[in-house]
Structure 1
Amino acid sequence: MKKKQPNWRSIDDFHILKNGNDFFPKLLDACKSAQESIHISLYWFESGHVANDFIEAFIEARRRNVTITLLLDQVGSLDLSKHDRARLIDAGVILGWYNPVKFERLHLIFQRDHSKLFIIDRDILFIGGTGIADIFSPKNHSHSWRENMFQVQGNIVADALNSLKRKWASSDAELERPTKRHQFRFWLNSLFAPLKHHTNVPAHGNATLNNGLWLESRGSSQRNILNEVIYRIKHSQQRIIFATAYFAPSPRLRYALKKAVQRGVDVTLLVPGKESDHPIFQRAGQYYYQGLLKKGVKIFEFQKSFMHTKLVVCDDFICLGSSNLDIYTQRWSLEANIAILDSAKAAEVTAMLQDDISSSKAIEKNRWDHRGMGIRFLNYLAYSISRWGNNWARQLLLFNRYYKARKQG
């Protein structure tokens, strides 16, 4: 079956922001210089030094009459204190919660908004994998996580705005002050309207004229990110670098990586090493090492700190954003990524990943084949637990579909 041609957009400006000591100052400066609007969608907003810096920047922006919308995932942002919420509301920030936990919605508790988007003046987009939390800041945490954000301009920002508008308009988003919801819905089209110079440039069915593609995933019903990455892996010719914080690949993804090696493609997997915020996922991911190493996939575990990076490079193709491309978030989460087809940008991202690989431990096939029984048992146990959880989540997803069908009639 022929792959449907997507709508490629222009990316006029592109900057890699490596780690919190780079991207937090840039994000704060952008908020402080905003003249019209700041639109943010985040999974993780946690009270602390970094959060206080952003809240202060938001308060100053509101004094300049800058419109600010902040859509947070309620589960991911549980550690945003009531005091900080009140500061945001009192300043006039439009604060909303994605899929708030309620008794009548417990069957949807795993449906989370995992995207990380900052849109300044409807013109500058920051996208990547960070949250507003001290753990990402080397200045505020002695062992901060390894992460990237990317600053982008071009008419692809129009797609990001439309994505945010759809989330705010959905029944899954709730305002902190529900009495204003009707009024806010009336404002949606003007709040998230793309700039004219973005909409005047038409989208094209290929990357000849434009080089950026907006990708979204919405659980099992929409897997655009995974599908695009697998398509690029299947058509790669020289190299693939697959970097993820949580390695729980689907059978399709594992098969595509193995087949790429058989075609002579240099395939590298970069994953967290000894440090992880979810050790069971790391151990479960190691269960797949043997099959991949046997086929010739190179595997590296990052050693400096916990690697929270989510990046895929296939020749001149890059996929960046919030998705780890793991089986769990592919079943439940809302994700936002950008695909870029550009040799210079791919070389820049590859150089950054090669630097991370130089700080990583290579997993050698011979040593892995002869690992101890204790490690083998832990890997199998973690894999079994994760597989049980995955099967249970699948049943819950089927129940959700049944529940929706009954509700609709």
Structure 2
Amino acid sequence: MRMIYLVLSLAGIVVLLALSIWSIRRHRNPKLNIDCNTPIEELIPSLAGLTHGVAQQGNAVEILENAGFFRVLVDDIRAAQHTVHFETFLWQEGELGKRIADALSEAARAGRTVRVLLDAVGARKVGRSVRRQMKEAGCTVEFFHRKGIHNIGVLNDRDHRKLAIIDGGIAFVGGHCVKDEWLGSPDDGKHYGDISVRLRGPIVGSIQTAFAENWIAETGMLFLGETVFPPLAPAGDVLIHAAFVKPEGSAPAVKILHHAAICLARRKIWIQNPYFIPEPETIDAFGEAVRRGVDVRVIVPSTRASDNPLVQHASHRNFEKLLENGVRLFEYPDTLLHQKVMTIDGVWSALGSSNFDDRSFETNDEITLGICDAATTQQLDAIFERYAGKCTEVRLEQWRRRSPLHKLVDHACYLLNEVL
């Protein structure tokens, strides 16, 4: 009998701890019924304010696709005069990892201050030789949320951001990871497709702030001065704000940004995302958008092309409702398209590291840029159209006839959608 009481007491303690962690981390989701007829391009200060950011005017944006991103990044790292900050989720040992490590090591040996922040789970295969090389060269290499009792409450929280800041004056944000699959073009059916941007202008200070957030959280080390936060003169005419904050008790900024933009769309919403698992209320918001005349289209990789077929099956669970609501769905058949892009009305775009699922919106540390610029948005829409031409459009009646086994797998995988 005493043993039974002991077991029940321990079970009660476990449940209490679980409820405590849940209550600390829970937040209220934004309601997707904004009553506003103002065009999205006139609401940038509002979107920035709602997502704990500041809209910055005077920026230059360069869209970088596929392997071309790394050529530009490496060149800028090698040209650094003072500091290089690099943060990423996925880094696996290979040719690309060696190339990035070489560039970072060269910068450190040349006397630049190089800080590297890697997710402890995503970068667990970075390779000992690469880690040793960077540290011996003088890079400071840290890992986000290592496994350990001191991190037991946040082990599921991963740093999914992909960003770099050079001398506090140039920043890179997007979806590219450090793995050899990013070394080519999706046209060959073997390498992944992706999009990142190179930024100059005042917005770079916000990207530096995002890096500082997790760097300080992991190391406690501060960095100051004009080598990291220099005065930033206008470099172009693009208005941008950055969403990355996860305030206590409120939905994370990236979630608020994506959901608010859906409600504000008046002509079109085009989404490119590898992991697309919208919540039921978001699907309803897409349906409302279609009913007010918005052209809603989504490109995702097919199950065969994805690097994580379980996510695609979880996504499939919602396809029927999305199609019934008038959303057009396109599956890319050949390889993983990894870009995380949403464009609104041909004038505004969201681009960054965030997938369109609960894992990114609720749990991960992410960063998404809100870019108000017709030229940039039209470039991204052109990329959408290029890939859509190679996709298979999913049709409602055909989708309803998929096999019972396919449906069973879809529903089973969806049960895990918040942790996939």
CA 1:210–1:146: 2 relative to 1, 3 Å:
closer
Q: 1:217·1:330 contact (CA, 8 Å) conserved in 2?
A: no
Alignment-derived partner of residue 41 in structure 2: none
- 2:249 corresponds to 1:214: no
Q: Distance in 2 between matches of 1:255 and 1:52?
A: 46
Kept after mapping to 2: 8 A contact 1:16/1:149 = yes
Q: Which residue of 2 aligns with 1:63?
A: 109
Alpha-carbon distance in 2 for matches of 1:23, 1:55: 16
The alignment status of 1:19 with 2:81, answered yes or no, reads no
8 Å CA contact 2:284, 2:325 repeated in 1? no
Tell which deviates more after alignment, 227-236 or 311-320: 227-236
Query: Which residue number corresponds to residue 204 of structure 1?
Result: none
Does the CA-based 8 Å contact 2:194-2:337 persist in structure 1?
yes
The alpha-carbon deviation at position 123 of structure 1 amounts to 0.9
Among 271, 284, 306, the alignment partner of 2:314 is 284
**C-alpha distance after superposition, 1:173-230 (max 9, x if no partner):** 14xxxxxx6xxx2x522387421135xx7xxxxxxx8610111143875421221222
Name the counterpart of 1:335.
Answer: 366
User: Quick one: which of 268, 273, 276 aligns to 1:247?
Assistant: 276
Question: Which structure's residues are more often helix, by fraction?
Answer: 1
Aligned residue number for residue 404 of structure 1:
none
Identify which of 300, 312, 335 aligns with 2:330: 300
Q: Give the equivalent residue in structure 1 for 2:200.
A: 153
Instruction: Kindly provide the amino acid, as one letter, of the partner of residue 376 in structure 1.
Output: K
Query: Greater CA deviation, 4-13 or 336-345?
Result: 4-13
> 2:211 matched to which residue of 1?
164
Relative to structure 1, the CA distance from residue 223 to residue 138 in structure 2 (aligned partners, 3 Å threshold; closer, same or farther) is same
Residue aligning to 1:227: 256
Residue identity over aligned pairs, in percent, reads 23
Shift of 1:275: 1.4
Q: 1:9 and 2:40 equivalent?
A: no
Deviation at 1:106, TM superposition (A): 2.6
Aligned partner of residue 335 in structure 1, secondary structure = coil
Match of 1:363 in 2: 394
Amino acid paired to 2:109: R
Q: Post-superposition shift, 1:62?
A: 2.0
Confirm whether residue 260 of structure 1 aligns to residue 289 of structure 2. Answer: yes
Separation of aligned partners in 1, 2:325 and 2:290: 7
Partners of 1:98 and 1:112 within 8 A in 2: yes
Is the Cα–Cα contact under 8 Å of residues 35 and 64 in structure 1 kept in the other structure? no
Name the Cα RMSD after superposition.
Answer: 2.3
Q: Is the 8 A contact 2:205 2:229 kept in 1?
A: yes
Q: What is the CA distance between 1:103 and its match in structure 2?
A: 2.8
Name the aligned partner's letter for residue 189 of structure 1.
L
With 83-92 and 228-237 compared, the bigger mean Cα shift is at 228-237
Residue 32 (structure 1) aligned to one of 53, 66, 78: 78
Structure 1 residues 72 and 11: alpha-carbon distance in aligned structure 2, compared to 1, 3 A threshold: farther
One-letter amino acid matched to 1:386? L
| Aligned-partner Cα distance in 2 for 1:108–1:233 | 30
Q: 1:5 to 1:150 in 2, by over 3 A?
A: closer
Residue aligning to 1:81: 127
In structure 2, how many angstroms separate the alpha carbons of the residues matched to 1:262 and 1:373? 31
Please give the alpha-carbon distance, in whole angstroms, between the structure 1 residues aligned to 2:358 and 2:245: 12
TM-score normalised to the size of structure 2?
A: 0.82
Question: Which of 372, 378, 383 is the matching residue for 1:347?
Answer: 378
* DSSP-derived class of the 2:177 partner: coil
* 1:240 CA drift (Å): 0.6
Partner of 2:94: 48
Q: Deviations over 1:274-295 (max 9, x none)?
A: 2112111101101101111111
Name the residue aligned to 1:309.
339
The letter of the residue matching 2:97 is: A
Q: Hey, what does 2:224 align to over in structure 1? A: 189
| Letter in structure 2 aligned against 1:272 | P
CA contact (8 A) 1:281 1:382 kept: yes
SS in 2 for 1:69: strand
Equivalent residue letter for 1:277: D
Structure 1 residue 271 displacement after superposition: 0.8
Question: Quick check: 2:171–2:204 contact (8 Å CA) kept in 1?
Answer: yes
Length-normalised TM-score, structure 1: 0.84
Q: Deviations over 1:80-112 (max 9, x none)?
A: 112211111110001111111113423321111
- Helix, strand or coil at the partner of 2:87: strand
Relative distance call for 1:192 and 1:108 in structure 2 (3 A) is farther
Q: Which runs of 5+ in 1 are unaligned?
A: 175-180, 202-208, 394-409
When residues 142 and 88 of structure 1 are mapped into structure 2, their CA distance, relative to the original with a 3 A threshold, is: farther
Cα displacement (A) at 1:64:
2.1
